[in-house]
């Protein structure tokens, strides 16, 4: 039996250890694609793997080095073009060790630690929780992702209240003249009591616009969970996702579900988005939102959150114009960028540079700590539009 498929799995793990985000579904795509190419042709095999496993140009040098090392011709009589056999002995057999000088290889036995039983599994410790909170979402393994999702479900989201035009009885500075006259009439015209009134307050609507293109794929799982948690905690929330187009997903995320149902809701969401993990045209997506949805969801002083890394294949002029329009129609326009969590990050992409002049708040969204900072920021927004702009 050929060892090519096991070697593909080992190669995917090697890319992950080197810092390249490789999803399991990508490996399945490779397994299907190699049936349609000449795998004896090293050049075709290389381009098929790079096309399907790498979605960021900055990862190409790392991939090239990993491909050169892993798929090198093995020693022996195998041909240099037989990729079915490449790495077979190196990856599928038992590990081979060089014996120290003078040692008898027949008597050498690896030292094995004695097995031990686990009597009790300790709960997640404080240090473990802090490590998960501070690590980048793209660096979390499966168990840490599950822990982060459980911790995120406990967050309390709140958006600062706004004053409406309606009045209610209260201890405000304004007299309630109607009640003053009513009470004076019951006391023969004497002003015994001076009732007051105050403005009613309601929570500001929240509009979420999340980038789910290929460049955001390594953050997509946690960000979709973040959207689910926010839409379940708050009342007036509208959720949209975009890549080359715009898709409204409020009806999928906004339903009141038990927390145990998250595992069913979030994985199904990419199936509802036709351009999930595709290209990016932020300007076109925002134009669709402004024309078709802006008047419906941006009333009553809404706060808009755009979640994207700023990688855009569209025209920067269009992005700038639609960002300016979106800022004029919202109470607060906040841009969340997962790359902003890196100390070396500089917004140099043309999409990010076109959007920056129209952003009220530019915040990171790369780990749990950054989400807590966002929660505190939303609950302490300025009372008037345009204040404390960054």
Would residue 385 count as lying in a domain?
no
Tell me how many domains the chain contains: 3
- Token pair in block for residue 41: 């042709």
Are 197 and 295 in a shared domain?
no
Q: 212 with 174, same domain?
A: no
**β-strand 237-242 against 246-248: which pairing, if any?**
antiparallel
The pTM of the whole model exceeds 0.85: no
The sheet with strand 303-307 has its strands ordered as 246-248, 237-242, 206-211, 303-307, 332-337, 361-364
Query: 252 and 185 share a domain?
Result: no
The answer to whether residues 228 and 80 belong to one domain is no
Is residue 52 included in any domain, yes or no? Answer: yes
Its domain, for residue 173, covers 165-201
Domain contains 100: no
Decide if 367 contacts 137 (C-beta within 8 A).
Answer: yes
Q: What is the pLDDT along the chain (390 residues), one digit of tens a residue?
A: 356 778 888 888 888 777 787 776 677 788 888 888 877 788 888 888 888 888 777 788 888 888 888 887 655 444 434 443 333 333 334 333 333 344 443 443 333 334 434 333 334 444 577 888 899 998 888 888 888 988 888 888 878 676 666 777 777 778 887 887 888 888 777 777 788 887 777 888 999 999 999 889 889 888 988 988 888 777 789 999 999 999 999 888 765 454 444 555 666 777 778 888 888 999 999 999 999 999 999 988 899 999 999 999 999 999 999 999 999 999 999 999 999 998 889 998 999 999 999 999 999 999 999 999 999 999 888 766 655 444
């Amino acid at each position: 039996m050929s060892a090519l498929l096991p070697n593909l799995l080992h190669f995917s793990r090697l890319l992950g250890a080197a810092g390249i985000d490789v999803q399991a579904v990508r490996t399945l795509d490779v397994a299907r694609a190699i049936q349609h190419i000449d795998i004896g042709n090293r050049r075709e095999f290389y381009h098929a793997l790079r096309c399907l496993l790498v979605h960021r140009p900055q990862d190409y040098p790392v991939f090239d080095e990993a491909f050169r090392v892993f798929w090198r011709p093995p020693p022996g009589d195998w041909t240099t073009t037989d990729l079915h056999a490449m790495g077979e002995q190196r990856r599928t057999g038992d590990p081979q060790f060089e014996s120290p000088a003078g040692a008898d290889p027949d008597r050498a036995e690896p030292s094995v630690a004695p097995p031990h039983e686990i009597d009790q599994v300790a709960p997640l410790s404080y240090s473990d929780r802090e490590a998960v909170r501070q690590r980048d979402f793209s660096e979390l393994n499966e168990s840490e992702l599950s822990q982060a999702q459980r911790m995120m479900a406990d967050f309390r989201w709140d958006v600062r209240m706004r004053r409406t035009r309606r009045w209610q009885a209260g201890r405000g500075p304004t007299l309630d003249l109607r009640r003053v006259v009513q009470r004076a009439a019951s006391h023969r015209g004497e002003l015994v009591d001076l009732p007051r009134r105050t403005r009613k307050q309601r929570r500001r609507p929240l509009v979420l616009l999340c980038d789910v293109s290929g460049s955001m794929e390594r953050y997509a799982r946690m960000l979709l969970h973040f959207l689910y948690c926010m839409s379940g905690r708050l009342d007036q929330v509208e959720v949209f996702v975009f890549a080359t187009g715009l898709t409204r997903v409020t009806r999928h995320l906004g339903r009141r579900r038990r927390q145990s149902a998250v595992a069913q809701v979030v994985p199904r969401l990419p199936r509802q988005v036709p351009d999930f993990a595709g290209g990016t045209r932020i300007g076109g997506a925002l134009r669709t939102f402004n024309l078709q949805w802006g008047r419906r969801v941006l009333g009553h002083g809404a706060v808009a959150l755009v979640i994207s890394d700023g990688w855009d294949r569209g025209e920067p002029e269009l992005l700038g114009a639609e960002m300016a329009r979106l800022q004029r129609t919202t109470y607060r326009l906040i841009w969340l960028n997962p790359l902003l969590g890196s100390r070396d990050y500089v917004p140099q992409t043309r999409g990010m540079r076109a959007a920056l002049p129209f952003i009220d708040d530019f915040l990171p969204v790369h780990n749990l700590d950054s989400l807590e900072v966002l929660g505190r920021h939303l609950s302490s927004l300025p009372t008037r539009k345009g204040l404390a702009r960054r």
